[in-house]
Structure 1
Amino acid sequence: MTQATSTQIQLVSRPAGWPVPQNFRTVTVDLPPLAPGQVRVRNDYISVDPYMRGRMNDAESYTPPFALGETMTGGAVGHVIASQSDRFAEGDLVIHPLGWRDVAQGPAEAFSPVQEVPGAAESLYLGLLGMTGRTAYVGLTAVAGLRPGDTVFVSGAAGAVGSAAGQFARLLGASRVVGSAGSARKVELLTGRYWFDAALNYKDAPVREQLPALIPEGIDVYYDNVGGDHLEAAIDVMNRDGRAALCGSISGYNAEKPTPGPDNLHMLTTKGLMLKGFTVGFYQDRFAEFQQKVAEWFTAGRLVHDETVVEGLDHAVDGFLDMMRGGNIGKTVVKI
């Protein structure tokens, strides 16, 4: 077997506030010969996601921080190009967590065969048909307990998880779905493409002022990707026994000091509200249900999706930074 190399992106310093390109470096490493039970994969697409910003901090969380001077990780999909394992043959399409590089190598157990859906592009297994979609689905179902007839508010609704959550909510029987986004173009996409009944541009005026006019009947379920002012505004208009699935708080990911919490938490008591944070890994028992349901919706043409595709590993950091500033539509992936 010929000598193989892998180009990889590493974190070399921890961001203070917004990340900058100087926090990262690109290296090329020689890969050792495959050991028994290992596979080598050429990545076709890698994922960049908001949660990765949290892993750049040296802080305790649900997953360890990225180590300085080591290659970062994240979702990736690609083809096996060499195998010393009975589990995979050359050419197999796999998904795995060894992103931020063009070639990945490791034990076969680190890779999973893709359950291919007819008509789906490879990149969708990182997005709508992968972790992004699973996150939206379990947040609505297992966390918020969405019921037919519920009114739903989704923050960050033009992003990867938000645009999936809005569509899933409608397909699961929500009577009204409202979202927030950060530009007029994204607001138009929400109502014209992603099945939202109404949407607001949070840059036009405080969310707390805009939301009551959009949802005079109140909301039963809040899917939160943003936190901060969006969470505060949602609590204001939540109906009795309302439920919030707290998926992310991107509004504070780059803050240099802790931001104040909502000033209306007393409403959790007076309205009997439930706010529950989660990560998708908590609900692996719901993945098979998701796979079946969303594959059916996709093949029936009942789902739409958009991607922001960044060309080349050398632009992966740029794609990540642009996504963090809201420059993406739908899921951001890097095409290797």
Structure 2
Amino acid sequence: MSQRNLRVVLNSRPGVNGEPIEENFRTEECAYPHEDLLENHVLVKTLCLSVDPALRCRMNPNSGVHYMSSWQVGEMADGLAGVGIVMESCSARFEKGDFVTSTFLWPWMAYFTYPDSKLLTISNALIKSKPSLSLGVLGITGLTAYVGITQKGHVTKGSNQTMVVSAAAGSTGSLAGQIGKLEGCAKVVGICGTNEKCTILTEELGFDAAINYKTDDVSKRLQEVCPTGVDVYFDNVGGDVSNAVIKQMTESSHVILCGQISVYNKDVPYPPPLPQEVETIMKERHITRDRFLVLDYSEKFESALQILGTYLQEGKLKVKETISEGIENTGKAFVSMMKGGNIGKQVVHVADP
């Protein structure tokens, strides 16, 4: 009897300036892949899916970025990453039972066939015991945090630097703050949207202070907790929060421009222009703010993953996840994440090995 298969489809667009809603997605049954595989292809069973804010641009008719195309209405969506297990193989590179992830982009489908050139073998024992780690700390999220800090943050051990992280309880931010401390920052401050998240940052993840941007005066609190100013800013949100942080930054400091989630539902260029007052501060203080795309640093991935794995095994990195059960809840998970409903990495658990 045929195996049941499901996929997630873009049902409608929210509009370039609209907030995504669950009805923008639908889950539908689809054909189970034939096991008569083409040469150099494998049959993959999805275990977990990554859901990321950067996918919001793909809901528009024009994604606005060169490295990802727009999703088409009525067609299957795909995400930045996934992890699965090989069910059948017609490839010399993979055997049945191998854990795999993608080189880039993963279909939002329970079972699919893929050319072996688009897949990577996972040999890490940590990931085999917990596959979702390949989507977070030991995947593109962890790489974004680590490479961003080491390549754009100019963190120097012993220099008493203060680092601020926005969306600090999210997937990348929660790791970035911890990595900043491990790489040498004397103080790390997180900005997030609930008191619960603030508590997690300071009591579980080692942040020195946390600011609730919804209830606190961000500028005033930054002056209180960063009396000597901000030397490194890991920017995940943009907008008013980031303007407040930049105003507190020191001479020759650095903005790691990772994301701008506050404007992902607005039709503005990326990165969005800064207010004239903030732009003037940046120029006068020689603050760097270069767009950062982790895919441009692929030569750093292997060594970065080794370091992240060591930090994790030694208990120096703590991982937070928000897990949604079932591929049919992928759209719901995406909408919740875009509203800040996740703590740590947002993952959709599709199946067990």
Global fold match (TM > 0.5): yes
Query: In the alignment, is the contact (CA less than 8 A) between 1:98 and 1:104 conserved in 2?
Result: no
The equivalent residue for 1:212 is 223
The SS at the match of 2:207 is coil
Q: What is the CA deviation profile of residues 114-169 of structure 1, one whole-angstrom value per residue up to 9, with x for unaligned ones?
A: 14144751111100111110000111011222222321100000001000000101
The equivalent residue for 1:48 is 51
TM-score normalised to structure 2 length: 0.90
Indicate which of 29, 33, 37 corresponds to 1:34: 37
Which runs of 5 or more residues in structure 2 are unaligned?
none
Q: What is the CA deviation profile of residues 154-189 of structure 1, one whole-angstrom value per residue up to 9, with x for unaligned ones?
A: 000000100000010111011110110100010011
Indicate which of 145, 151, 155 corresponds to 1:146: 155
Q: What is the CA deviation profile of residues 226-267 of structure 1, one whole-angstrom value per residue up to 9, with x for unaligned ones?
A: 100122112101111001111111111123678873341101
The SS at the match of 2:295 is helix
- Answer with 144-153 or 191-200: which moved more: 144-153
Cα distance in 1, alignment partners of residues 122 and 71 from structure 2: 26
Indicate which of 64, 70, 82 corresponds to 1:65: 70
| 2:22 is aligned with 1:18 | no
Query: In the alignment, is the contact (CA less than 8 A) between 1:117 and 1:295 conserved in 2?
Result: no
The equivalent residue for 2:274 is 261
Query: In the alignment, is the contact (CA less than 8 A) between 2:163 and 2:231 conserved in 1?
Result: yes
TM-score normalised to structure 1 length: 0.95
The SS at the match of 1:264 is helix
Same amino acid, percent of matched pairs: 37
Cα distance in 1, alignment partners of residues 5 and 96 from structure 2: 18
Q: How many residues align?
A: 335
Q: What is the CA deviation profile of residues 283-323 of structure 1, one whole-angstrom value per residue up to 9, with x for unaligned ones?
A: 11110121111111111111111111101111111111111
Query: In the alignment, is the contact (CA less than 8 A) between 1:207 and 1:229 conserved in 2?
Result: no
Query: In the alignment, is the contact (CA less than 8 A) between 2:11 and 2:25 conserved in 1?
Result: yes
Query: In the alignment, is the contact (CA less than 8 A) between 1:47 and 1:99 conserved in 2?
Result: no
Cα distance in 2, alignment partners of residues 99 and 106 from structure 1: 10
Cα distance in 2, alignment partners of residues 76 and 202 from structure 1: 32
Query: In the alignment, is the contact (CA less than 8 A) between 1:117 and 1:299 conserved in 2?
Result: no
Cα distance in 1, alignment partners of residues 101 and 78 from structure 2: 13
Within a 5 Å distance, the mapping from 1:273-284 to structure 2 comes to 273-284=287-298
The equivalent residue for 2:137 is 128
Deviation at 1:3, TM superposition (A): 5.6
The equivalent residue for 2:286 is 272
Cα distance in 2, alignment partners of residues 135 and 13 from structure 1: 30
Structure 1 letter corresponding to 2:311: W
Structure 2 letter corresponding to 1:41: V
Q: What is the CA deviation profile of residues 164-215 of structure 1, one whole-angstrom value per residue up to 9, with x for unaligned ones?
A: 0001011101111011010001001111111110110000134233322221
Cα distance in 2, alignment partners of residues 279 and 117 from structure 1: 28
The SS at the match of 2:278 is coil
Indicate which of 307, 319, 324 corresponds to 1:293: 307
Deviation at 1:87, TM superposition (A): 0.5
Within a 5 Å distance, the mapping from 1:1-336 to structure 2 comes to 6-16=5-15, 17-30=18-31, 31-32=33-34, 33-59=36-62, 60-62=64-66, 63-74=68-79, 75-96=81-102, 97-118=105-126, 121-148=130-157, 149=159, 150-255=161-266, 261-262=274-275, 263-336=277-350
Q: For the aligned residues, what is the CA RMSD? A: 1.8
Query: In the alignment, is the contact (CA less than 8 A) between 1:208 and 1:232 conserved in 2?
Result: no
Cα distance in 1, alignment partners of residues 309 and 293 from structure 2: 22
Structure 2 letter corresponding to 1:314: E
Deviation at 1:278, TM superposition (A): 1.4
Query: In the alignment, is the contact (CA less than 8 A) between 2:26 and 2:331 conserved in 1?
Result: no
Deviation at 1:5, TM superposition (A): 5.6
Deviation at 1:34, TM superposition (A): 1.5
The SS at the match of 2:78 is coil
Cα distance in 2, alignment partners of residues 212 and 276 from structure 1: 25
Cα distance in 2, alignment partners of residues 249 and 117 from structure 1: 34
Structure 2 letter corresponding to 1:50: P
- Answer with 102-111 or 180-189: which moved more: 102-111
